[in-house]
Structure 1
């Protein structure tokens, strides 16, 4: 089944072009301003708001979160545990003891009194009250309803139905008169105005509104393309006017001048400073050595040469403690003397 676009009327075609032109003229500055604000907002968010938010978040944690966590962990929780322990000791345990040793026996006693005394008495009283109510209230009331109230009610109901029929007929006549009056005076003119005035005007306004909405959307998209082109043109102009001259000056002027200054001035100065520093370090080292030698000579002249420390000879190693006798005391094959019989 082919779905073709329905034909458009001349009113739609006549309205579309001027509306789109006016919408494009009105929307283009708004779209360009919006794109500029979006770019500025992204730049500020990346360079200002995001670091500021991180700093504020860290400050909020340091000022609020961490003190509250420490207060909760080291003050509130121990105090709550202590209060809970005191409540357990001072309230729960006494209440448990009271319930177990006082209220439970008293409840058993009350149950026994209820089952053995109150229930029999209540059953007897209930039987007496039921008998009295039946023969003093229910039976007379039933006879009164049967022989007096029921006939009177039937008569009143018959009279009420007649009155209701009369009222219904009167109300029906008045309602029909009002219905036709309102229909002729209000409904039919309103239907005619709706059908022949408001519906055509609404259709025209709907066409105009649809075209205005479509024109705004179309103008917004075209304005986006124009804004992109203008932004690229401005970026190209800024690059050609500012960035390229600065790059050319840096590449063709500042870089050779910097290299020349580095080769002609900075390197000789650095080498001279390095040589001077090395010479100063050598002079300082020789001066420290001379001062150290003079100080040693003065000490030897005043207090004499230090005595050499005596050398300590190493102690001989002790033989290991064995359970077997040594070689001289041990039994040999060429001697009959043993360690036990030796003098």
Structure 2
């Protein structure tokens, strides 16, 4: 059978399809190609169609069983077992079994455990502990507090006699006069130093600052201005004139000559 698909012309107006790769040709290829196609047509295609049919039938059967059989059955079991049997049974068990059992446990806990434990704790721990605190510990603590108070007063008196009074007397008799004298000496030294600094500053101002300022104003500034003016006239202005009148025309002429030589040698380039 001849294959005319290679000689078909492309449809007008449609997108151009990429050229297909050339199929191998030859006697061996022709011998194996047609049996392979025949096997695919006889075996593979029917199996594929059968598989698709089985998949569609399984989906339809699953939808049918779930929608019309399992789902109504599960809903019915839920309504009958949970809503109508288990929930009411749970409510009745909670009301008539669990609640009475919890109340009985609470009653037994209160009267068999809580009350005896409270009685034992009260009369075996709290009452003896209260008596021990009032009759033994509190008097001992009061005696210790009195002894510590007496010792503290004695230590404070000793410290006052041996430390505070001598320190106060030394402060009043020795340190205060010495400190006042030192402050007066420092104040006088500060005044003398300030007067000396002012005198030295005035002398430096008259001897150094004023002459330097006068020289700067009278000599340095006029000389600097004259030098700047001469530099402007002798160097800057001729340089600018030479740049505008000589250098720039030479550069432009060189560029034009180079452009003409390039055009004569290589021809006119593409227009940009």
TM-score between the two structures when normalised by the length of structure 1: 0.28
Select the structure with the greater relative contact order (CA < 8 A; seq sep ≥ 6): 1
